Structure 1
Amino acid sequence: MVIKVFLASSSGSTAIKKKQQDVVGFLEALKVDYTQLDIACNEENRMWMRQNVPVEKKPANGIPLPPQIFNEESYCGDYETFFDAKEDNMVYDFLRLPPPPGSKQAREEEGEGQEEEAE
């Protein structure tokens, strides 16, 4: 499973650039396999991203802004939902990936499983 991060290489927005860098930097730090897909230079990428962001997740103007994150064809979320998942130590759930053994998220899931068994 490959994580797809839709980015705009030539965005004039400093805020969008910072959000894109935050997502990419965090994925690299976690050693998550991902692919960057540029929507500024590639019309197919832009159309695919716009068509595959769920209607309820699109902004009022109907045009989702980068970064948008997918696991293969499955929509994960935008920067705000990524940031929330990062703050809650739930990035692997957000990305729909199993947490690596020994990670904080894996330890928390193991702890939940043990609590359930004790009941």
Structure 2
Amino acid sequence: MVIRVYIASSSGSTAIKKKQQDVLGFLEANKIEFEEKDIAANEENRKWMRENVPENSRPAIGYPLPPQIFNESQYRGDYDAFFEARENNAVYAFLGLTAPPGSKEAEVQAKQQA
């Protein structure tokens, strides 16, 4: 399974750039395999992202903003959902992945199952 992060390489928004860097940096630091999908440079990526963000996760006005996170084609969430999962040591569950043994998240899951 490959995590796909839809980003905008040429966003004029500093907030969007910081959020994108935060997500990508976390994935890199934790050696989680991912693909960047640039919606600014590739119309197909933009179209696919917009069509595959579920209706209940879209803003009332306009289009969903990057970063948007998918596991293959399954929508996992936006930056706010990612941030919340990270705060709760639940990023692997958020991404639909198994937490590696010895990680904080694996320990939390083991305690919850006990």
Query: What's the TM-score bracket when you normalise by the shorter of the two chains?
Result: over 0.9
Displacement of 1:112 = 2.3
Aligned-partner SS, 2:10: coil
CA offset at residue 66 of structure 1? 0.3
Q: Secondary structure at the match of 2:75?
A: strand
Name which one, 1 or 2, has greater alpha-carbon Rg.
1
Q: Normalization by structure 1: what TM-score?
A: 0.93
> What do the CA deviations read for 1:49-76 (whole angstroms, capped 9, x no partner)?
0000000000011400000000001000
CA distance in 1, matches of 2:32, 2:12: 27
Query: Match for residue 30 of structure 1?
Result: 30
Q: Can you give the 5+ residue segments of structure 1 that lack an aligned partner in the other structure?
A: 115-119
Alignment partners' CA distance in 1, 2:17 and 2:111: 37
Q: 2:9 matched to 1:6? A: no
User: What TM-score, normalized to structure 2?
Assistant: 0.97
Give, in angstroms, the shift of residue 111 of structure 1: 1.9
Identical amino acids, percent of aligned pairs: 63
What's the secondary structure of 2:83's corresponding residue?
helix
How far has the Cα of 1:108 moved from its partner? 1.5
RMSD value, Cα: 0.8
